[in-house]
Structure 1
Amino acid sequence: MEKKLIELSLQRGRLQERIAAQRATLAVQLRPLADALQTADRGLAAARRGVDYVKRHPGQVGVAVALLALLRPKGVWRWGRRAFVAWRLWKTARSKLAAAGIAVSRPAA
């Protein structure tokens, strides 16, 4: 019985060593993905901060847009169209994802 326990203990130790090696390999292999996801997270955080700023200071944003419209009406019109197209694409994508049963949650306010 004691011999079997020693054998099981040795086998457990070898398995734990193998698991540790696999974890280390996986960590090295996933590093590029982790870096890319970290960059995406920073971008999303910056976008959310921008949206929060616009929500807290709508007057300042309105004045800035009005000044841009006076100084560069073509540029404002062009960016307005782009923003509208992006908004419509987002709404369409969300509705199609919802129809497919994939929930797209809104960020917490």
Structure 2
Amino acid sequence: MSDLIDIGVRRGRLLERIARQRADLGAQLAPVRDGLRTTDRALTWVRLIADGVRRHPAVVAAAVAVFVVLKPVRLWRWGRRALFAWRAWRALRSRLDSLVAGVR
């Protein structure tokens, strides 16, 4: 009977050790998990763009034609302006959302 108790105690200690090791491993792998999450988001984004290109090849062809017809320098200039406008819009919208949330 004493052997069964010893085996049970040993089993309990082993299970506690396993639980500690799992917790330690989870904590150590947190940066890897975050990196993989970022990679998954990027791959999802790339797949979404690839699907859009497959569904609308005419739009891609038109964009390439515009790029060829217009000078690339001019396109980069307008691209920077568009990016600035988009960022300004996001910042303004974020502030408006926080103001509206503060009024509620």
TM-score, normalized by length of structure 2? 0.67
Distance in 2 separating the partners of 1:27 and 1:57: 43
Deviation of 1:58 (Å)? 0.3
Q: Tell me the amino acid that sits aligned with residue 29 of structure 1.
A: Q
Rounded to whole Å, the distance in 2 between the matches of 1:75 and 1:69 is: 11
Deviation at 1:50, TM superposition (A): 0.7
Q: Which residue of 1 aligns with 2:36?
A: 37
Give the Å deviation of 1:75.
Answer: 9.1
Aligned positions, number: 75
1:56 aligns with 2:55: yes
1:67 corresponds to: 66
Aligned twin of 2:14: 15
- Per the alignment, residue 97 of structure 2 pairs with none
How far off its partner does 1:61 sit? Answer: 1.0
Query: Within 2, Cα distance between the matches of 1:72 and 1:13?
Result: 73
- Structure 2 counterpart of 1:17, which letter? E
Q: Let me know the Cα RMSD of the aligned residues.
A: 1.8
Structure 1's 13 and 63: CA in aligned 2 closer, same or farther, altered over 3 A?
same
The runs of at least 4 consecutive aligned structure 1 residues that moved more than 3 Å come to: 73-76
Choose 1 or 2 for highest CA Rg. Answer: 2
Whole-Å separation in 1 of the counterparts to 2:21 and 2:46: 37
1:49–1:12 Cα change, 3 Å:
same
**Per-residue CA distance 1:21-68 (angstroms, 9 max, x = gap):** 000000000000110111111111111111110000001111111111
Alpha-carbon distance, 1:74 to partner: 7.2
Q: Which runs of 5+ in 1 are unaligned?
A: 77-109
